[in-house]
Amino acid sequence: PGKPGRPTTSDATGESILVNWTSPESDGGAEITNYVIEFKPKGSPKWMKFESTEAIPQTSHIVSSLKEDTLYVFRVAAENKAGMGPYSDPSEACKTLIDKPSPPMNLTVTDFSEATISLKWDLPEDDGGSEITGYVIEKRESNKRTWTKVSETTDMELTCSELTKNSQYIFRVAAQNESGVSEFVALTQPITAK
């Protein structure tokens, strides 16, 4: 088959990009059964083949397992029963995004009194491709639905004060990076200030 049209890109996420192209002007006398997609970080001399688990007969595909915050270029070749044709011209560079981080891990209570509760947590499993810049801590009384912001910190621990004696509280923590704030992780049981 002939050379497909130059790919275009869209719908970038932190680890995938949608690649679109047009069919070659000539199918070489046989039906096109697959498209081979190659990609590389912009500026790299080495093309890498996208390993799809099944044939790609359509003229668009999501290329996944990419690195976050990286510029990529793509090229595509058509295949039929006679073999593979030439590669398309490379696409314009497209950058994967920086995602929000995953929530912090292992949120626990380390100490409590009638007026304070101390919390600690571990780094998120995934920083979203960008350094963790801080944490947001919220609380609510166990009999209420509204969360109140307690603090923001760059530490992985915090002592929360200004609590009402004998009241039960639930705390939650989220991580943040330059892309935004993760989902919150909350304590599984309310803690009583006493």
User: What residue ranges do the domains of the chain occupy?
Assistant: 8-95, 105-192
Digit-coded pLDDT (tens) for 75-114: 999 999 999 999 999 999 999 988 889 999 999 999 988 8
Q: How confident is the model at residue 53 (pLDDT cuts 50, 70, 90)?
A: confident
Please say whether the beta carbons of 50 and 89 come within 8 A.
no
Distance CA 109, CA 119 (A): 5
Q: How confident is the model at residue 179 (pLDDT cuts 50, 70, 90)?
A: confident
Looking at CATH, the fold of the domain delimited by 105-192 is given as Immunoglobulin-like (2.60.40)
**pLDDT recorded at residue 13:** 86
By the 10 Å C-beta count (0-12 exposed, 13-18 middle, 19+ buried), 108 is classed as: exposed
Averaged pLDDT for residues 117-122: 96
The SS3 of residue 107 is strand
Averaged pLDDT for residues 148-156: 96
What residue ranges in 124-184 does DSSP mark as E strands? 134-141, 148-153, 157-160, 168-177, 180-181
Residue 118: pLDDT over 90: yes
Domain 105-192 in the same topology as domain 8-95: yes
Which amino acid is it at 117? I
Superfamily of chain region 8-95: Immunoglobulins (2.60.40.10)
Residue 68: pLDDT over 90: no
Distance CA 168, CA 73 (A): 54
**pLDDT recorded at residue 194:** 80
